[in-house]
Amino acid sequence: MTIKLHCFGESGNAYKAALALELSGLEWEPVKVDFFAGETRTPEYRETVNEMGEAPVLVDGDFRTSQSGAIQAYVTEKSGKFGGKTRDENYEILRWVLWDNHKLSSQAGMTRFLMNFLPEQHRNADVIAFNQGRLKAAFQTLETQLAGRDWIVGDSMTNADLSCCGYLYYPEPFGFDRAAWPNIDRWLSNIENTPGWKHPYDLMPGSPADRA
């Protein structure tokens, strides 16, 4: 049975789940969520797809879950990929996934939205600058972790990598200059060079060009 992922191309959180599925070798297909038309806020979406009103959502037969970290854990359970080789590594992966969700992706997603998708008259320069300051601290944490390392945890790609890279391939400005962070840049190249890797706008339906 083909796994379905409710997702949209502009979402870095959806990309984390989609990329895990794509690189796992599991059979899956995207189901476009029309986020910018308000689909996730409709009663129908909350009743039939996700009561939290969010994407991504994975559906595999009778199994359903949301939140990118939970989806990645399911992909690992089903495919045997992207987990750690030891108990300690598994906890370290979880630690970085949780860090990303709180410190990196949360700030990157919000800042990118404020700078690119919110109508210009509603963009608050002070809020954006505050978020970018927090992002810079997160980038430094990741840059330090990747010093002398190919991957965040262990010696191969794990869910820590798939989580933390979620927003860093997007072209829209939000305060991330890849060239300014050489360790992050090298690590992103490692992910890009993995067979089967795809850019978020090539992997999932939906992009800003569709609404231009």
Name the strand (E) or helix (H) holding 103.
none
**pLDDT tens-digit map of 18-68:** 999 999 999 999 999 999 999 999 999 999 999 999 999 999 999 999 999
Same domain, 29 and 95: no
pLDDT at 212: 72
Give the count of beta carbons closer than 10 Å to the beta carbon of residue 100.
27
Residue 65, amino acid: T
Boundaries of domain holding 132: 87-192
Q: What is the mean pLDDT of residues 171-187?
A: 98
Same domain, 100 and 176: yes
* Domain count along the chain: 2
Rounded to two decimals, what is the model's pTM? 0.96
Give the count of beta carbons closer than 10 Å to the beta carbon of residue 27.
9
Same domain, 51 and 119: no
Same domain, 75 and 119: no
Same domain, 91 and 158: yes
Helices (H), 49-203: 68-79, 87-99, 105-116, 125-145, 159-164, 182-192, 200-203
Same domain, 55 and 91: no
Mean predicted lDDT score pLDDT of the chain = 97
Q: What is the mean pLDDT of residues 105-127?
A: 96
CATH (domain of 185): 1.20.1050.10
Task: Tell me which residue of 128, 122, 126, 97 sits closest to 110, measured CA to CA.
Answer: 128
**pLDDT tens-digit map of 91-109:** 999 999 999 999 999 999 9
